[in-house]
Structure 1
Amino acid sequence: MISSIRIILSLGSFLLLFISSTTAKTSFRPKALVLPVTKDISSSTPQYVTQIKQRTPLVTVNLTVDLGGGYVWVNCQHGYVSSTSKSVACGSAQCSLFGSSSCSGDKVKLCGGFPSNTVTGVSTSGDVRSDVVSVESTDGNSAGRAVTVPKFLFICGSDVVQKGLPKGVTGMAGFGRTKVSLPSQFSSAFSFSRKFAICLSSGTINSKGVIILGDAPYNFGYLNSDISKALNFTPLITNPVSTAPISSLGEPSYEYFIGVKSIVISDKEVPLNKSLLSINKNGVGGTKISTVNPYGILETSIYKAVSKAFVKAVGVKTVSPVSPFGTCFTQHEIGSTQMGPAVPDIKLVLQNGVVWDIIGANSMVQFSNIDVICLGFVDGGSKPKSSQVGFIPMTGDQPTTSITIGGLQLENNLIQVDLARSRLGFRSIFSDHSNCANFNFTSSV
């Protein structure tokens, strides 16, 4: 496995050229692509689901969005029929992109990978394949003509690894820092910017959020302006130790980490053990961004300090908590504003002095059937697994992450990942009196 990783590093730009020259064969070169995202609350924990079209003939494939996932995997066990699906040979350039040394087969050795369900923590093995994938282009205002990548790489999953995903969802789309993640393959295929933006809607059913791959303006509804010009930016940080369910020694994490230096509530800095905010040589500590964690997760001492400061700032009594939350109030005593529940902002002071304001809409969880409202962060324990998602601990000796910014905190925020500049941009469009469901998915062609 380690030697495969060295191969990836040494081949570098050749492999990017390989993807570009063998996958995208079209006279139309889009500058950006667009994917819809819906919030599914039918499973035990909310998940964000996107769609692509895959195979020949094309069929719609629903995938859970994993912002920190390294690749795309799809269940091939039942009903996967395609005339253009091809296995990837072991030892090939395509196989080395996965850092895989797993081979199967007798006469012809096939490339193997390890599809992981980061919602449940279950990992299996499966073959690496290529097949046709089609998505829509965009100019940032609306959806445009569809484009096709003939040899998009993915790993075959099974019923076992699919279990725990919403009904009709047959895999996961990884957006992490690898050469085989969904955004990396598209940017290589069409030679556009190595950046993408994600805007999660807080609504369900027909309320679509959006993912934009590449370089396009971000226009939402009546704002009629490019929100990318108003983003706040902070550097992306590399965790030197993998946080994936299955990894090799010396492999860095492909999840997205940022530097939180302090937390402020009602203009008062929350007293914390600052050493927990940094990532040490063993991969312990720090702050990551996650879409498979539906809510924020805080290391125990951080959670207790934030909860204490938050309760004091709110100024009303707490009530019996509703699992998995630990800090709850009577809803009618909190009230509401245009920015959501009337609670103080939780301010994350980042390493370059920029502040991420978590407003009431992104810090509180409301219940429709009871008069209770809860702080949308959970106590992850003294050693919360960095790959702990859906509050189901994963097995193995995983590094620990002190703060996880989850789906609730990301909703109606435009989050841009700029890999070329190694930075993360963010802005609440809810505070701009718009929301992530305002993108126009009606095709302009």
Structure 2
Amino acid sequence: MASSFQFLLLGSSFMYLTFVSLAQTFHSPNALVFPITKDVKTLQYVTTILHGTPLVPIKLVVDLGGPFLWTDCASRYASSSSRPVPNRSIKCLTAKAHVVGSKNCLSGAQKCEIFPENSITRLGARGELVEDTIAIQSGDDSKAAGLTATVVQQFLFSCAPPFLLNGIASGAKGMLGLGRTRISLPSQISSALGTHRKFTICLSSSEGIMVSDQGPDHGSFFGPEISRSLTYTPLVTNQGDNLLPEYFVGIKSISIEGKRLSLNASLLSLDGEGVGGTKLSTIVPYTMMESTIYATFIEAYIKAASSMNMTMVASVAPFSLCFSSKGIESGKSGQKVPVIDLMLQSEMVKWRILGGNSMVRVNNEVMCLGFLDGGLNPRTSIALGGYQLEDTLLQFDLGSSMLGFSQSLSMMQCSCNSVFKFDSWPVEPL
């Protein structure tokens, strides 16, 4: 066992030296890329980064609205470059200023304490703010040059107790936060490399990708046709004392097959305390709606489905509305079922959800609507889940506070798992 571990460290040390050399010769990468895979058991999205000295791969669950990276440090080897962040230091104060719940840490503590949370189980704990080295894949526009890596020193993250790992994908050692804070992954990368606070994510039912912006030609990484197809909408923030790290969009109304639903406008808006509104989530597998919104939505969908001669069948958990697949045509964007439109800042700006992102095939004979009842008093009125985000290019510009989104890539005979391949990244997580 010991000899195997020594061999692993020797291999990792060689890999570390290789990556440092590559990073030194790769001065201006156009993009830092993260392969994202979907865990079939938990429906969570996971990625792998290289972390510590020597660099070793660490598997993390991607949390779009998470404030920072946290990991179970106790189960990992001791990194020689890991350093605790002192309390009351500039880095500690920066972290606490932008992380909800971390401002009132023990004033007498010597180490900087923040509060990592498992956003799946909603359990949190006191954790220690630490800095260490990470390495990330780099690629250029042409894709012909393949991949190399960029090393980021003094990357801030939180150690967390092992019980926070409960409920996350097998083998994952923590969560990778991409949210709107100064210590999220996109913010730290842009600060370290002097680039725009912008990243693009493209989820898939199998293999997807996240790209951190590294220059003005970032969009061409996905091809000019896809980049030009993006529609833009403002990212909404609450105006309270604690700004939320999640990404919210302003939905004005919802229509099904062109018929607008009668909804409570106050539920669709985000108030100063961070209640209501519509957020995008990689943690919620299927879109969740506040109960009164859901009831109106389901009633309208049943009417639209009936007009299309769709046959309702017994529900299949966790879904409440299911249909027979018999006689339902399929096109390049999935089953031909009622179209759902989310109207954003105006009637002209809409997020269209077609069959491929609305219907979940549970077996050969039954398909179910992938929208769930979120209860009467959820903090967020609508949480757009991972299934509804798949095969849609999402570009988050934190600097301008804008979201760019594509139509379903299936309409362009494309998908997120065909956008980019990672054949030259053979490292497997521990």
User: Which of the five TM-score ranges fits, normalised by the shorter chain?
Assistant: 0.7 to 0.9
> Does structure 2 retain, via aligned residues, the 8 Å contact 1:219–1:226?
no
Q: 2:267 aligns with which of 252, 261, 276?
A: 276
Aligned partners of 2:58, 2:111: CA distance in 1, in Å?
Answer: 24
C-alpha separation in 2, matches of 1:197 and 1:53: 20
Is the CA contact (8 Å cut-off) linking 1:30 and 1:190 kept in structure 2?
Answer: no
The equivalent of 1:437 in structure 2 is: 417
Residue equivalent to 2:114: 113
SS at match of 1:260: coil
Q: CA RMSD, aligned part only? A: 2.0
Query: Equivalent residues in 2 for 1:256-267 (5 A)?
Result: 256-267=247-258
Distance 1:153 1:226, change over 3 A: farther
Output the TM-score relative to the length of structure 2.
Answer: 0.85
Aligned equivalents of 1:232, 1:419: Cα separation in 2: 16
Residues 256/103 of structure 1: CA separation in 2 closer, same or farther (3 Å cut): closer
1:226 is displaced (CA, Å) by: 5.0
Equivalent AA in structure 1 for residue 399 of structure 2: A
Question: Structure 1 residues 299, 102: closer, same or farther in 2, change over 3 A?
Answer: closer
Secondary structure of the structure 2 residue equivalent to 1:180: coil
State the SS of the aligned residue for 2:297.
helix
Q: Give the equivalent residue in structure 1 for 2:314.
A: 320
Match of 1:212 in 2: 211
Provide, for residues 213-261 of structure 1, a one-character-per-residue CA deviation record: whole Å limited to 9, x for no partner. 01413445xxx535222200001110235xxxxxxxx211111111111
How high is the sequence identity, in percent, across the aligned residues? 43
Unaligned segments of structure 2, at least 5 residues: 1-22, 97-101, 426-430
Match of 1:66 in 2: 63
Higher helix share: 2
* Pairwise CA distance, 1:367: 1.3
In 1: Cα distance, 2:268 partner to 2:65 partner: 19
- Match of residue 178, structure 1, among 176, 181, 184: 181
TM-score, normalised with respect to structure 1: 0.83
Q: Is the 8 A contact 1:301 1:382 kept in 2?
A: yes
Distance 2:328 2:221 in 1: 33
Question: How far off its partner does 1:159 sit?
Answer: 1.4
Q: How many residues align?
A: 386
Is 1:303 matched up with 2:282?
Answer: no
Cα 1:218/1:54, change in 2 over 3 Å: same
In structure 1, which of residues 72, 75, 78 is the aligned counterpart of residue 75 of structure 2? Answer: 78
For 1:363-442, what aligned pairs fall within 5 Å after superposition? 363-368=358-363, 371-384=365-378, 400-427=379-406, 428-438=408-418, 439-442=420-423
**Contact 2:180 / 2:246 at 8 angstroms: preserved in 1?**
yes
Structural mapping, 1:122-137, within 5 Å: 122-137=123-138
Distance 2:371 2:311 in 1: 18
Deviations 1:252-285 (A, max 9, x none): 1111111111111111111212221112333322
Correspondent of 2:246 among 255, 263, 269: 255
Q: For 1:104-142, what per-residue CA distance to the aligned partner results, in whole angstroms no more than 9, with x for missing partners?
A: 798x81111111100111111111111110001122453
Residue 139 of structure 2 corresponds to residue 145 of structure 1: no
- Amino acid aligned to 1:321: S
CA distance 1:343–1:299, shift in 2 (3 Å)? same
Aligned residue among 342, 350, 368 for 1:355: 350
* CA shift in 2, pair 1:47/1:318, >3 Å: same
Q: CA deviation at 1:102?
A: 6.2
